[in-house]
Structure 1
């Protein structure tokens, strides 16, 4: 499907784009089924927060209308929304009068092996560390070079995801997923106040678990804590939940907490 720029079909952006020059912007990746963008409210919520943090205009009615219209034409697939600060001349200082750019792109739904959902995945221990920058922590900004470097660390199909830590060694997330553990019946996920991406499915799972009286803890997690977990899983808003069966010398079953949340994610995302 043809891309849209500022609500109109387009195949290119200008060379003066600050998104291209500096990664000055944000993006959202939405799963679309039967023309409906999934977890739309969570995506818009995160986008509003990110725009406020970066000082970008956030026109929710226009964005909502375009996402519905583009998703309706797409049918089934993955919709990527990019918002940049627009165009400017050379230099880090942006033009305060330049309008922000809205870019919509699409791709087919990925065909992941069924065994990742059913049997779980192995995690690669990434050497690339996430830099600690509280001003950008939690945002899905356009600067993804850390993830590019981390994903280049392994090839082949043995590993479906990689596990990333920050420069202090704390567990943070996967290369393109969020991390959850079950410890003594509690759902535990890393805090993302220094770095990492606050995923939309992560936010929804936390809210759903808490509303169902499931204890949820968001905290700093040292690598050593993985050994005390009874279940581990990864999640994102395109594939849902993958149980983790192996990381280095550690192994876990796809336990009842994981399976319950996995079913919930499948219903939310229409998987």
Structure 2
């Protein structure tokens, strides 16, 4: 059953109690959801792994059309629904689909001038069964994001417990090195973003398992997701705020951003 997110959610909802569910955040432009088929496919994959019934296309497809004109973000939350005490899942599950539409304004200055990021102390736990899913268990991201309050730091980079780069707290990571695009492999943890998926279909992007030292060899570094688009990284600090690396923005390195913004309907950043 679908309802707005403002609706009352019972205390026995398993998404609230255990993080037993999935979510999606979808950019909606004038009532049209961007990368919509990929968002639905990721939710479907996650639902299959968690053993949840999948909302019908009819139930999902009506929601973006309620956005009206302008740029909005549609947030979908699918939980297993209500259940009794303990971790044992109710059978059959009666899932609860919550949704919210909110106004959104992107940050063009970050597209153009780039951002400063930092390394996070927190390490992501390795759990291949949940790798790639956008599940509701996001305490690692919450703790990582709480490591800094500096408004000049736009994001934090996360490694897994073995020291390999995975992602940022809410974005995927890309870099250009040795004449090719690379992105962290996400077979042990992390969220496989829909924009990342679309870019990997359009360009040859190699998945690699490497630590932060690889960034010393990168000519450019980017962070991106399906709502914000792609931000170039111009500076990386360590967890104490000490400079690690700098990158100079060059127009020839914006090919990835150009494609990402075409997919999301954002403007191409002009030559500097």
Give the TM-score of the pair, scaled to structure 1.
Answer: 0.90
Once the two structures are TM-superposed, the CA of residue 59 in structure 1 deviates from its matched residue by 3.1
2:94 matched residue in structure 1: 99
Equivalent position to 1:77, from 68, 72, 79 = 72
After superposition, the Cα gap between the structure-2 partners of 1:52 and 1:257, relative to the gap in structure 1 and judged at 3 Å, is farther
Matched, 1:265 2:260: yes
Equivalent position to 2:214, from 205, 225, 232 = 225
Q: Deviations over 1:2-52 (max 9, x none)?
A: xxx615786221121000000000000001111111110110111111111
Once the two structures are TM-superposed, the CA of residue 58 in structure 1 deviates from its matched residue by 1.3
Q: Distance in 2 between matches of 1:260 and 1:111?
A: 20
Q: Distance in 2 between matches of 1:163 and 1:139?
A: 18
Equivalent position to 1:61, from 57, 60, 66 = 57
2:230 matched residue in structure 1: 241
Q: Deviations over 1:150-200 (max 9, x none)?
A: 111111321101111001110000000000011111110000011000000
Which runs of 5 or more structure 2 residues have no equivalent in the other structure?
A: 238-243, 267-272
SS of equivalent residue, structure 1 residue 267: helix
Matched, 1:47 2:43: yes
- Could you tell me whether the CA contact under 8 Å between 2:5 and 2:98 is conserved in 1? no
Q: Distance in 1 between matches of 2:185 and 2:130?
A: 14
Which runs of 5 or more structure 1 residues have no equivalent in the other structure?
A: 211-215
Once the two structures are TM-superposed, the CA of residue 105 in structure 1 deviates from its matched residue by 1.0
Once the two structures are TM-superposed, the CA of residue 62 in structure 1 deviates from its matched residue by 3.1
- Could you tell me whether the CA contact under 8 Å between 2:71 and 2:105 is conserved in 1? no
Once the two structures are TM-superposed, the CA of residue 258 in structure 1 deviates from its matched residue by 3.9
Give the TM-score of the pair, scaled to structure 2.
Answer: 0.90
2:269 matched residue in structure 1: none
Q: Distance in 2 between matches of 1:8 and 1:78?
A: 14
Once the two structures are TM-superposed, the CA of residue 63 in structure 1 deviates from its matched residue by 3.9
SS of equivalent residue, structure 1 residue 94: coil
Equivalent position to 1:202, from 196, 203, 226 = 196
Alignment of 1:11-50 (within 5 A): 11-50=7-46
Q: Distance in 2 between matches of 1:121 and 1:202?
A: 19
Q: Distance in 2 between matches of 1:92 and 1:127?
A: 30
After superposition, the Cα gap between the structure-2 partners of 1:6 and 1:209, relative to the gap in structure 1 and judged at 3 Å, is same
After superposition, the Cα gap between the structure-2 partners of 1:9 and 1:181, relative to the gap in structure 1 and judged at 3 Å, is closer
After superposition, the Cα gap between the structure-2 partners of 1:41 and 1:258, relative to the gap in structure 1 and judged at 3 Å, is farther
Q: Distance in 2 between matches of 1:265 and 1:77?
A: 18
Once the two structures are TM-superposed, the CA of residue 107 in structure 1 deviates from its matched residue by 2.0
Tell me the number of residue pairs that the alignment of Structure 1 and Structure 2 aligns. Answer: 260
SS of equivalent residue, structure 1 residue 115: helix
